Structure 1
Amino acid sequence: MNMGLLGDDYLHWSLLTGRSVNAQPGSFFGLFTFADGNALNNQAMIDSGKLVWWANDHLRIAFWRPLAELSQQLDYRWWPDSPLLMHVHSLLMYGVMILLIGKLFRDLDPDRQQAGLATWLFAGNMLHVFAVAWLASRNQMLSGLFMVLTLLGYHHWRQGRSAVHGWLAAACFVLGLFSAEASIQTAGYLLAYALFLEPGKSRAVRFKALLPFILIALAWKALHSHLGYGSFGSPGYVDPASNASGFAVSLALRLPALMVAQWFGVSSVMFEQLSRSTQYLYSGAATLALLGLAWAIHAMGGFRSSLARFYAAGSLLALAPACAGYPFDRLTINSDVGASGLLSIILLMAWRHRQQLIGWGLGSAKNLVLVLGFIHLVIFPVAKLGTSAVMKTLGEAGETQAPLAMPNARAGQAEHFLLMNLPSAESIYYIPLIRQYHGLLNPTTMRALGPNNQAMTLTRVDENSLRLSVPTGFRGTITRDIQKQPFKVGDTVKMGDISVLVEAITEDHAPKTAVFRFPTSVQNAPWRFLAWKEDGVAQLQPPAIGQSLEIAPYDVGKAVLHAMEPPKK
């Protein structure tokens, strides 16, 4: 509850308090449109520094979530100056979600122990912490609420109760889609229901019941695309509709990473920072681990029940759409409904039949499942409490290390901050907002010359020009997919009144060396160059003409620890 604001929350604060405007079609406030794909609008953001200069000029990262926007508007209408009460709002929503999931488990499973354990496994899952603690992620809980309501209504309808339940299920599906794109995951559970939980009915009857939901999903996607929402040009966000081949690769790489986090607790948060070859190795190893788990469940007879097959298929199908976004543990929250149900079944099976599950094969399968039980019943809940306890400190340390570490601009003077090696260059999108929220004075512009924390060489070419060489290349995880839009030697980019010339590229066509030409001498007062070290940020003086200076990488862990130290008196 003490988490405060983080990342996108500052953007939402600026929009919902009227400090900025982001009008978008079909949207109340444009809370979830970060780049709309318009080249002129993107150029304006590059000019101001909001986007890094190597971003895709047609970058689109735009999500259509009007109900989530209304939910967050209530916060700023009822308690605009209390992030604590905003977090209480999110926590209450999470609590209602858990209660509804408990009801779903009880309605689906006559074994009360299994249903109760499944509810506890979901409630104790540490991967949900960030989804709850980040106000901007509330749309995930809205999506989860409407997903569970859809499944409850659908189940009651298909079990012979009034058709009203079917209509309510369809209505909740629509509301979910207007809350977050993640609600398309509901379709995975509905398909799994038709496959495994309607014995005795023909396939035609089962799939006829799905037809209204298919039509709703198609109509929603058509309107979603017509209004200009979706993603383009980003390596982190891959739109399955416009980039099917890219999504197929993302699915193959990201699904195992997310599932290993879901089942074994191995976080996926750093997956997108790995090189592509390392991602393939990681996903291959993760797939082997998951196949071993599937073998253990099969060997124990865990897939014999139709309910277990429903949970397994529903969880897998629900997690697949999450692979359109870069891996983040919180993305498993909807898929964890099925995973918790399946884990409950196999845990109780292993415990109840522990005397019979002996020998190399069955004994190994039982032990693997019991280890999973220890992870989810002991480590996950403890880690959930621990993570919740330190999140505020880590969040504040991140802000202290970057946006709050920079000096104030001089009042009444035009100044331009040039940032060499931010911990995350793409985070410059938020830095001016964070500083504004904390009452700090921003310069006229704030622009990133270099990428994330890397070794780089800065050379003075002439009075007005600097050359920056980064052996690993200027790249990021969100703003430009260099495989789809590679750079070429000689490419030029305008960054306001600064021109950028790409002199050399890496093997995978990311800029390696760039020359920045300024309209005046780089030693003039308006230009302030800032560089990061482990002990904070300092002003950097450009070298003399013909000279170079090395900017060394720094230990991010030590930098965070330094930022967490109390100020000296």
Structure 2
Amino acid sequence: MTDAPPSSPLRDHGRALAIAILGLAIRLDALRSPPVQDDHAQLAMLRGAFPLHRAPWDLFAFVRPGEAPALRADGLLPWWTDDRFAIAMFRPLSSLFLAAQLSLGGHRLAHAVSALLFASLVVVAGALFRTTLPRPAAWIATLLLALTPAATLPLLWVANQNALLSVLLGLVSLSALLRGRVALAHAALLLAALSGEYALPMLGYAVVVALRRPSPARLVATLSAAALTPMIAARALHYGAANSQYLDPLRVPALWLAQSPGRALALLGTALLGQTTGPDHHGSVFAASATATLLGATLLVAAFVLTLRRWPAALRAPAIAWPLGAALALLPVLAAPPLPRLLLPSAPGVAALLAVLCAAPLTRWGMPSPATPAAVALSIPLLIVHLALVPWQAHVDVRALSATFARTRDAVSRAAPEVSRSPRCDVLLGALDLDALHYPPMIWREAGARSSGCWRVLTATALPFTLTRLDARTLQLRSDGGTLVEPVALTAYRGSPMVVGQRVVTPAMTLTVTAAREGYPTELRVDLGADVDAYAWWVLLGGRMVRVVMSRMPAELRVPPAL
């Protein structure tokens, strides 16, 4: 606790809520977003239109083990998907919660609930900051958390609402633990684990706090049991991810260890220095650099330690618990490619670390020791980056992401009048984003159109390729200098490279890799089950999804990049 004058808890909660509203204000476009990506699959599950049955508590079981071939044949998965591919998450609480929202009020209600969860998260974290940090640092930490880029996608993408729920419950557990309400701490952590995997990162904070309480070993064991029991049950029920870009440290420990340092550096760059990388972002405050990240992170941690050394001993332990918890929270998310949204569990600890440095000069308002010139010099660029540049970047990201999703959805929706049941299969020549890759039949269904019931995407490349019609039932696709399937698209659906001669048989066509480079297909033969005009052929061009008659096209056609 600090020695600052007491303040009304209700007034403090109101101020924290105002800060949360500011965080929502810079992301207003996110709260207006239509269904995107996995949202379409979950809506189809609730309507009984998903290829396989899913209960309302199981909306995150997109592909269970053994289901990949059937879903690939249906077209929900691309043709290059590994037979052993799986991505099924055990999130019964958040799944039921989301199902209720979508059933009662659709996506508008779900977005409103996401905003409420985010505001609650900021308010609960703000109370924790005020309990453990000097007041100037506590308020700056609350503001930094409200502006974190990690919250952008969970607010935009309804299917990612589970992240907000599980982190919020993890913070409730931490608050209960600090107040000595151990039973509530266990219950909240268990509910967090039933909401999503982010309960495991949140366990890191609880462990750090538990180590300072009586009987720490027993408390750590029982808290770990609360967080891990649902996950152990999920593993026994064959939930999880396999043969994809998600690296399970228990299944592929060597690969996880090999890729974790690079993933950790990318996430640290985003969290501490405002670097933004990955498809969640369309720009960056600073260009990502491993050297800059290492130097910057080392400098910030050293400055944090030196600052705390000047504090009274009673204030040090609560403050240092935050970055320690954030470091532990980072480890579990290294199983996934480094995207800013993965930093949501670490965001409270990172906000506390940065706030201590930013608030160091504010001794007049309650900081515990005179600031050194170095601390003052460091606080100014940190404030500029994290209170100005990073929020502006978040605003830009939301608008860019919303525009990207809207462009694809609008292109697919506008094509609905041309859709019919008569073709043997609807075939898109190329797609790069998930909406176009997986979900056009679901978007058409939402628009009132009924398609053939068969969907194929032949390529996922940002480069042109050549399509040659060898005869009425045979096509050849050849990359013009690149690959027909970009690395990010290939590794998302398989854990092994493709080889020459590899054949994929589906009900509508057979696809054979006839040339490959470093495991990525560069040439593909497509043997159709009927003449080309029995299929509906589609191409994404200039923000439009256009249907073409293949037999009227030249025998050799250069296809431009997709959207």
TM-score normalised by L of structure 1: 0.82
Opposite residue 34 of structure 1, the aligned amino acid is F
Cα offset, 1:479, TM superposition: 6.1
1:173 matched to which residue of 2? 189
Tell me if structure 1 keeps the 8 A contact 2:90–2:234. Answer: yes
Opposite residue 523 of structure 2, the aligned amino acid is T
Distance 1:326 1:310, change over 3 A: same
Cα offset, 1:542, TM superposition: 4.5
Cα offset, 1:541, TM superposition: 5.2
For structure 1, the 5+ residue unaligned runs are 158-164, 274-280, 557-569
1:9 paired with 2:39, answer yes
1:342 matched to which residue of 2? 353
Cα offset, 1:447, TM superposition: 0.5
TM-score normalised by L of structure 2: 0.83
Match 1:98 to one of 111, 117, 122: 122
Match 1:357 to one of 372, 377, 384: 372
Opposite residue 489 of structure 1, the aligned amino acid is V
Distance 1:438 1:226, change over 3 A: same
Tell me if structure 2 keeps the 8 A contact 1:54–1:480. Answer: no
Distance 1:152 1:21, change over 3 A: farther
Residues 186-197 of structure 1 aligned to structure 2 (within 5 Å): 186-194=202-210, 197=212
Cα offset, 1:427, TM superposition: 4.5
Opposite residue 74 of structure 2, the aligned amino acid is S
Tell me if structure 1 keeps the 8 A contact 2:359–2:379. Answer: no
Residues 223-238 of structure 1 aligned to structure 2 (within 5 Å): 223-235=233-245, 237-238=246-247
Match 2:86 to one of 60, 63, 75: 60
Tell me if structure 2 keeps the 8 A contact 1:457–1:551. Answer: yes
Deviation readout 1:24-58 (Å, 9 max, x if unpaired): 6xx644311121120xx322222221111111111
Cα offset, 1:147, TM superposition: 0.3
How many angstroms apart in 2 are the aligned matches of 1:432 and 1:472? 26
How many angstroms apart in 2 are the aligned matches of 1:428 and 1:129? 23
Match 2:541 to one of 528, 533, 546: 533
Residues 353-392 of structure 1 aligned to structure 2 (within 5 Å): 357-358=372-373, 362=374, 366-384=376-394, 392=402
Distance 1:416 1:77, change over 3 A: closer
Percent identity over paired residues:
22
2:64 matched to which residue of 1? 36
Distance 1:441 1:546, change over 3 A: closer
Opposite residue 143 of structure 1, the aligned amino acid is S
1:70 matched to which residue of 2? 96
Distance 1:394 1:457, change over 3 A: closer
Match 2:522 to one of 496, 501, 512: 512
Tell me if structure 2 keeps the 8 A contact 1:462–1:545. Answer: no
2:454 matched to which residue of 1? 445
Cα offset, 1:11, TM superposition: 1.8
Match 1:317 to one of 325, 328, 344: 328
Cα offset, 1:539, TM superposition: 3.7
Opposite residue 357 of structure 1, the aligned amino acid is T
How many angstroms apart in 2 are the aligned matches of 1:79 and 1:410? 28
2:167 matched to which residue of 1? 144
Deviation readout 1:217-245 (Å, 9 max, x if unpaired): 4433321111111100002x222222222
Tell me if structure 2 keeps the 8 A contact 1:530–1:540. Answer: yes
Distance 1:464 1:425, change over 3 A: farther
Cα offset, 1:466, TM superposition: 0.9
Tell me if structure 2 keeps the 8 A contact 1:425–1:450. Answer: no
Deviates more, 1:118-127 or 1:388-397: 388-397
How many angstroms apart in 2 are the aligned matches of 1:219 and 1:13? 29
How many angstroms apart in 2 are the aligned matches of 1:71 and 1:483? 31
Residues 518-557 of structure 1 aligned to structure 2 (within 5 Å): 518-522=528-532, 524=533, 526-534=534-542, 536-540=544-548, 542=550, 547-553=555-561
Opposite residue 239 of structure 1, the aligned amino acid is D
How many angstroms apart in 2 are the aligned matches of 1:429 and 1:136? 15
How many angstroms apart in 2 are the aligned matches of 1:238 and 1:186? 20
Opposite residue 336 of structure 1, the aligned amino acid is A
Opposite residue 511 of structure 1, the aligned amino acid is P
How many angstroms apart in 1 are the aligned matches of 2:104 and 2:335? 34
How many angstroms apart in 1 are the aligned matches of 2:144 and 2:395? 14
1:469 paired with 2:478, answer yes
Distance 1:212 1:410, change over 3 A: closer
How many angstroms apart in 2 are the aligned matches of 1:482 and 1:72? 26
Deviation readout 1:121-180 (Å, 9 max, x if unpaired): 2123243122123211111111012101111122222xxxxxxx1121111111110000
Tell me if structure 1 keeps the 8 A contact 2:280–2:340. Answer: no
Opposite residue 120 of structure 1, the aligned amino acid is L
> Helix, strand or coil for the counterpart of 1:404?
helix
Aligned residue pairs total 520
Deviation readout 1:324-358 (Å, 9 max, x if unpaired): 22222222122111111111111111454999634
Tell me if structure 1 keeps the 8 A contact 2:36–2:405. Answer: yes
Distance 1:103 1:300, change over 3 A: closer
2:4 matched to which residue of 1? none
How many angstroms apart in 1 are the aligned matches of 2:462 and 2:371? 55
Distance 1:21 1:93, change over 3 A: farther
Cα offset, 1:477, TM superposition: 3.3
How many angstroms apart in 2 are the aligned matches of 1:500 and 1:355? 70
Tell me if structure 2 keeps the 8 A contact 1:49–1:428. Answer: no
Deviates more, 1:295-304 or 1:184-193: 295-304
Opposite residue 490 of structure 1, the aligned amino acid is G
Deviates more, 1:128-137 or 1:301-310: 301-310
> Helix, strand or coil for the counterpart of 1:442?
coil
